[in-house]
A = this chain, B = another copy of it.
Amino acid sequence: MVGNNNRLVKEKNESLIMEVIRKNREISKADIAKTTQLSANAISMITSSLIKNKYIHMCRIGESSGGRKPEILAIKPGTFYSLGIDIDTDGIRFAEVDLAGNVKEIKRLKMNCIRNADKAFGAIKKETARHKSEYFLGFGIAVAGQVDISSKRIVLAPNLKWSNINIADLIFDRADFYIENEAISSAIYESLNGICKDTDNFICINSKSGIGAGIFIDGRVYRGENGSAGEVGHIITDYYGLKCECGSFGCLETIAASHRIASMCGLPSIEYVVEKAESGDKRVLSVLKNVSKHMGIALVSIVNTLNPRKIILGKEFCLYGKLLIDDILSFVSKYSLPSSRNLEILISDAGDNASVLGAALLPQLRIFGK
């Protein structure tokens, strides 16, 4: 029991030190001691072991502040890595990310995944087959829908028309994988490596065929009572509006999901909407005004209820968000309570890759004690 406890304490201190190094990017042992309150001796022992095992390295010699010049430590790039996989209706994305957060490769496989879980996981098996080295930490899968992260099941992915899928049944020769909702994956990316690094309370809202959110509260993912928190696409912004697939009326996504915007503009896809808007097409601009207003109504309700520090708009918002953002900002600033005055609403700077990059981080979280 004592041995067990010691091992747990050691693991906890290891991940604490890994997290401090990650957050600071570069840090001396003396500064690790200041942050963690661990003894110099414990820090020396743990960092030596982490260096030996290639998790961290001495990246440079720092400036002396009187005594000996300090060794500066950083997460070792290019060694341990993991693979993110983002499954969407029209294809699968793969991203290799190392422990230092460097993205080695992002690639995209076009494929109709709707009703095709077998085919999608066939492609995933093929791609993952080449990742079996001792430095491979595993792969993380992001899906738009409700997932059960502990039993690694997709409960319901409405747009893919998948339900109750046990991923282990489809990838029967691997156990080194994790699963997450795609908006929560985006939020994990923004929290660790994106624009919410120093933010405890924020919401990532992703739009594509649906609109969903990943919510961070007091620095941690908030999933709700049944794991279905974040369904902000079903905030009712106009009860007298269109019928939604969920059975309700005037849900935000009946107006603001990408494919609904395209269809209201009479255009085949959101790319055409962007083109037409940029050429000043009046019908398209008027549809976008209305979309901004409904986004504004939903965001005011979210802001007044949750008082977050940041709201990040992601996924396909990154393609057309620039056409809406000014109107959304002015609506929210005009109609939300003044107590939220330091709120920032931003478009993700990872483009539409935040969720695949977040998926790649899932196998790394444990190492940083998350």
Q: Which residues of A contact B (CB under 8 A)?
A: 146, 156, 200-201, 213, 215, 217-218, 220, 222-232, 234-239, 246-249, 293, 297-298, 300-302, 304-309, 334-337, 339-343
Contact partner of A226 among B231, B239, B246, B307, CB < 8 A?
Answer: B307
B300 adjacent to A236 (CB under 8 Å): yes
Contact partner of A239 among B200, B215, B237, B340, CB < 8 A?
Answer: B237
Closest B residue to A158 by beta carbon equals B337
A247 adjacent to B335 (CB under 8 Å): yes
A232 adjacent to B201 (CB under 8 Å): no
Contact partner of A340 among B226, B305, B307, CB < 8 A?
Answer: B226
In the complex with contacts A225-B201, A226-B339, A305-B308 CB distance below 8 A: no
A228 adjacent to B339 (CB under 8 Å): yes
In the complex with contacts A201-B225, A305-B305, A239-B238 CB distance below 8 A: yes
B301 adjacent to A213 (CB under 8 Å): no
Alpha-carbon gap, A298 to B302, bound state (A): 11
B224 adjacent to A201 (CB under 8 Å): yes
- Ordered by A's residue number, 6 sampled pairs between the chains whose C-beta atoms are within 8 Å are A201-B224, A213-B305, A226-B341, A234-B301, A235-B301, A248-B336
Closest B residue to A230 by beta carbon equals B305
A225 adjacent to B305 (CB under 8 Å): no
Contact partner of A300 among B222, B228, B234, B305, CB < 8 A?
Answer: B234
Minimum CB–CB distance for A240 against chain B, Å? 9
Residues of B within 8 A of A226 (CB): 307, 339-342
